[in-house]
Amino acid sequence: MARHLITSAIPYINGVKHLGNLVGSQLPADLYARYLRARGHEVLFLCATDEHGTPAELAAAKAGKPVDEYCAEMWQVQSDLAEGFRLSFDHFGRSSSPQNRALTQHFAKVLDEQGLIREVSETQMYSRADGRFLPDRYIEGTCPNCGFESARGDQCDNCTKQLDPVDLINPHSTISGSTDLEMRETKHLYLRQSVMKDRLEEWIDTRQGWPVLTTSIAKKWLNDGDGLQDRGITRDLDWGVPVQRGDDPWPGMEGKVFYVWFDAPIEYIACAQEWVDAGKGTDWQRWWRTDAGAEDVTYTQFMGKDNVPFHTLSFPATILGSGEPWKLVDYIKSFNYLNYDGGQFSTSRGRGVFMDQALEILPADYWRWWLLSHVPETSDAEFTWESFQSGVNKDLADVLGNFASRVTKFCRSKFGETVPEGGRQGAPEAQLISDLTARIRDYERHMEAIEIRKAAAALRGAWVLGNEYLQEAAPWSTFKTDPEQAAMQIRLALNLIRLYAVISAPFIPDAADQLLEAMQAGDRDWPDDVEAALAALPAGHGFTVPDVTFRKIADAEREEWQARFAGTRS
Residue ranges for the binding site for Zn(2+)?
Answer: 143, 146, 156, 159
Q: Which residues are annotated as a binding site for ATP?
A: 347
Classify 402 as helix, strand or coil. helix
Are residues 275 and 99 in contact, defined by beta-carbon separation less than 8 angstroms? no
Are residues 375 and 303 in contact, defined by beta-carbon separation less than 8 angstroms? no
Concatenating the DSSP letter of every residue in 209-267 gives S--HHHHHHHHHHHHSTT-SPPEE-EES-SSS-B-EETTEE-TT-TT-EE-HHHHHHHH
Classify 176 as helix, strand or coil. coil
Q: Which of 347, 396, 371 is nearest to 25 (CA)?
A: 371
- Secondary structure of 266-331 in HEC code, one letter for each residue: HHHHHHHHHHHHCCCCCCCHHHHECCCCHHHEEEEEEEEHHHHHHHHHHHHHHHHHHCCCECCCCE
- Rounded to 5 degrees, what are φ and ψ at 219? -65, -35
Are residues 119 and 301 in contact, defined by beta-carbon separation less than 8 angstroms? no
What does DSSP say about strands 234-235 and 169-173: parallel, antiparallel, or unpaired?
unpaired
Cβ of 36: how many Cβ atoms within 10 Å?
23
Are residues 530 and 465 in contact, defined by beta-carbon separation less than 8 angstroms? no
C-alpha 312, offset from chain centre? 17
Q: Within the chain, what is the greatest distance between any pair of CA atoms?
A: 92
How buried is residue 507: exposed, middle or buried, by Cβ count under 10 Å (0-12/13-18/19+)? buried
CA atoms in the 13 A half-sphere facing the CB of 14:
15
Whole-angstrom Cα Rg for the chain: 27
Are residues 415 and 490 in contact, defined by beta-carbon separation less than 8 angstroms? yes
Q: Which residues are annotated as a binding site?
A: 143, 146, 156, 159, 347
Q: Alpha helix (H) ranges present in 51-164?
A: 54-63, 67-84, 98-113
Are residues 238 and 257 in contact, defined by beta-carbon separation less than 8 angstroms? yes
Which long-range contacts does 480-489 make (Cβ < 8 Å, 24+ apart)? 483/414, 484/422, 484/423, 485/422, 485/423, 486/414, 486/422, 487/415, 487/420, 487/421, 487/422, 487/423, 488/420, 488/421, 488/422, 488/423, 488/424, 488/425, 488/429, 489/422
Q: What is the dihedral of CA 329, 445, 459, 357, to 10 degrees?
A: 10
Q: Which of 110, 84, 82, 108 is nearest to 94 (CA)?
A: 82
Are residues 462 and 436 in contact, defined by beta-carbon separation less than 8 angstroms? yes
CB within 8 A of 144, min separation 6: which ones?
Answer: 163, 167, 168, 169
